[in-house]
Amino acid sequence: MISAAALTRRAAPVLACAALLAVWQIASLALKSDSFPTALEAIRTIPDILGDQESLINILASLRRMAIGFGIAVLVSIPLGLLMGRSRAVAAFFNPLLMVIYPVPKAALMPIIMLWLGVGDITKTLVIFLGVSLPVIYHSFEGAKAVEEKMLWSGAAMGLSPLQRLARIVLPAALPEILTGCRTGLVLALITMITSEMIARQSGAGNILFNALDMGQYDTVYAMIIIVGAMGICLDAAFERIRARLVRWSEPQFDMPLSFS
């Protein structure tokens, strides 16, 4: 049997979405503006978009860039962050570099990257990579720094080499923190994905959105916002499930069931 508390927890996101749509519907009916379709109109447009082959290809291309950018960023950032956390020299070298890059909006770098690499997949994937890297590096770094030294000593006494200790002690010990960074990175991947397609308008979900805006197809604009938002929510929820599974051994911590981005 599901307890009342569990039921409330599961129903909460659904209720929140429903409330949001209701407010939207009422506001739209009250304002009666051409550029502000009702929630129902927007939702009715979604099947049209997803049924259209070209739109679907565009959206899938976006997701593919996002997956590649996110994947490479995670593969590079975790080892780098862990090394920084365990080696003062590595941290001293990369920290200033990252401090400079950190506050720069990655999308602001796009014009330069476009000049070098064009407006194609590589540029957009690179921007996603940059957006995801920093939170993952930062959290891996913090996680690695916090690993108890005695744990590493215990490993050393068992005969683990420094590299084995990094992979088999620091990595698992820092995993909860690393995955927190990855979760932030995933949301940032979606944000930079859309942003990059707004700047380099050639293909992708962001492109559909802004083309529709240019042509005054407001139903499509709002429908795309719902689609992108739903993608974010689903990706985040899926990731959270995996995360919770991987770090079940660590202390329970308070967490929102979903993060809305």
Partner 1 sequence: MKVVPSRSSEWVRPVTSQRPASTIIEIDRVSQVFQTSARKDHLALSDISLTIEEGAFVSILGPSGCGKSTLLYIVGGFVSPTTGAAKMKGQAITGPGPDRGPVFQEFALFPWKTVLGNVMYGPRQQGVRANEAEVQSRALIEMVGLKGYENFYPKELSGGMKQRVALARTLAYHPEVLLMDEPFGALDAHTRTRLQNDLLNIWERDRKTVLFVTHSVDEAVFLSDKVVMMSKSPGRIREVIEIDLPRPRRRNELLLDPRYQKCVVDIERMFDESDKVGSPS
Chain residues binding partner 1 by CB under 8 A are: 148, 150-151, 153-154, 156-160, 169, 172-173, 175, 247, 249-251
CB 77 → partner 1: shortest distance, Å? 21
Which CB sits closer to partner 1, 51 or 159?
A: 159
Which CB sits closer to partner 1, 34 or 251?
A: 251
Which CB sits closer to partner 1, 13 or 172?
A: 172
Asked if residues 77 and 140 have their Cβ atoms less than 8 Å apart, the reply is yes
Backbone angles phi and psi of 201, in degrees to 5: -80, 100
CB 186 → partner 1: shortest distance, Å? 22
CB 140 → partner 1: shortest distance, Å? 16
Burial classification of residue 92, based on how many CB atoms lie within 10 Å of its CB (0-12 exposed, 13-18 middle, 19 or more buried): exposed
Q: How far is CA 134 from CA 34, 131, 162, in A?
A: 41, 7, 25
CB 167 → partner 1: shortest distance, Å? 13
Cα distance between residue 221 and residue 214, in whole Å: 10
Which CB sits closer to partner 1, 103 or 252?
A: 252
CB 136 → partner 1: shortest distance, Å? 19
End-to-end CA, the chain: 32
Which CB sits closer to partner 1, 105 or 162?
A: 162
Q: Shortest CA distance to 204 belongs to which of 50, 46, 59? A: 59
